[in-house]
Amino acid sequence: MRAIGYMKSLPIEDRQSLEDIELPDPTATDLSPNDLLIEIAAVSVNPVDTKVRVRTEPDNGHKVLGWDASGTVKATGSDVTLFKPGDDVFYAGDIGRPGTNSELHIVDERIVGRKPSNLSHRDAAALPLTSITAWELLFDGMGLREGEGDGETLLIVGGAGGVGSILIQIAKALTGLTVVATASRDDTRDWCTKMGADHIISHRENLKAQLDALGLQPRYVASLTATDQHFDALIDLIQPRGTIALIDDPAELDALKLKTKALTLHFEIDVYSAHVQHAGHDRPAPSARPNLRACRPGEDHHHREFGRRNDQRPEPS
């Protein structure tokens, strides 16, 4: 089968930093009991692909990249109960296994969802990683529950990025939160408005002053980019007892700054594959993978709300 990846971790300017690779087709005999063999129809590209390429040296001659995928179940492992051959599925993959940029791919059924019937494979492949991140950040990390948040404000720093775009929509569709998104260019401001944000402010100007002008003091802050740069300002503008969640890579982050306002800080990453699944592919506790609920067959109603074409999304400013 054809795949896209690399033989050696190289700067992106190097022509061999990304290569077409020809690999043997995986077959049903390669499946662990909970695995699905997927015929991939579409993938999408995420920032994590860049990080994996830069940080991970292949250990068996090559590394296939890719995280998000949409496709069709071709074969199932002996213990699979959730899917059957022919089912259309979508999922974010697993850092511990080969990436999704290949014609065939093996994935554990427990991190797979049924593709919404009203989305093409191409549209569906754009959703999993950003949606899981936004969902877990809001409902697990920040502790919100669906239907809550009336009278409270969520500030999203970097509203026009992948996670921000989904987070605006989830927050508006499933909670009562007032959503303030930051953007600094006309097209990203327009995009955040289209996603449903109630207010747009600029992360290049004083955040607190702009919020004061709106008469809003956020209880929740999603810091999706440049947390390094904004951390002190976020602590200054947030309500006492508020929650800050971040997804990026600050060089340092002093937790003592949380104390004077009794704040909560949540670090959102997809830890399932790293910490749960590869402990012998044990079935995860519901608490360790709450988003599985949203991915179960017949429960794709949340995903249906958030479909859009990846190519409509501008770059975050």
Residues near a copy of itself, by CB under 8 A: 136, 140-141, 143, 151-152, 219, 239-241, 250, 252-256, 258-272, 274-276, 285, 287-288
φ, ψ for residue 207, nearest 5 deg? -65, -45
**Is residue 200 within 8 Å of 144, Cβ to Cβ?**
no
Query: Which residue number, 73 or 154, has a Cβ lying nearer to a copy of itself?
Result: 154
Give the other-Cβ count within 10 Å of 198's Cβ: 18
Query: Which residue number, 243 or 317, has a Cβ lying nearer to a copy of itself?
Result: 243
Query: Which residue number, 41 or 167, has a Cβ lying nearer to a copy of itself?
Result: 167
- Work out how close the CB of 207 gets to a copy of itself at its nearest, in angstroms, rounded to a whole number: 18
The token pair at 290 is: 């709450």
Query: Which residue number, 36 or 95, has a Cβ lying nearer to a copy of itself?
Result: 95
Closest CA to 44 of 284, 272, 306, 309: 309
Give the other-Cβ count within 10 Å of 223's Cβ: 24
**Is residue 171 within 8 Å of 145, Cβ to Cβ?**
no
- Work out how close the CB of 248 gets to a copy of itself at its nearest, in angstroms, rounded to a whole number: 10
- Work out how close the CB of 279 gets to a copy of itself at its nearest, in angstroms, rounded to a whole number: 10
Query: Which residue number, 28 or 288, has a Cβ lying nearer to a copy of itself?
Result: 288
**Is residue 142 within 8 Å of 243, Cβ to Cβ?**
yes
- Work out how close the CB of 262 gets to a copy of itself at its nearest, in angstroms, rounded to a whole number: 4
Query: Which residue number, 23 or 269, has a Cβ lying nearer to a copy of itself?
Result: 269
- Work out how close the CB of 215 gets to a copy of itself at its nearest, in angstroms, rounded to a whole number: 13
- Work out how close the CB of 179 gets to a copy of itself at its nearest, in angstroms, rounded to a whole number: 17
The token pair at 159 is: 């509203």
Query: Which residue number, 18 or 288, has a Cβ lying nearer to a copy of itself?
Result: 288
Residues in the chain: 317
- Work out how close the CB of 88 gets to a copy of itself at its nearest, in angstroms, rounded to a whole number: 29
The token pair at 76 is: 């199932």
Query: Which residue number, 42 or 224, has a Cβ lying nearer to a copy of itself?
Result: 224
Closest CA to 82 of 293, 278, 305: 293
Which helix (H) or strand (E) segment is 71 a member of? Answer: strand 68-76
3-state secondary structure of 312: helix
- Work out how close the CB of 254 gets to a copy of itself at its nearest, in angstroms, rounded to a whole number: 7
**Is residue 66 within 8 Å of 99, Cβ to Cβ?**
yes
The C-alpha atoms of residue 200 and residue 3 are separated, in whole angstroms, by 41
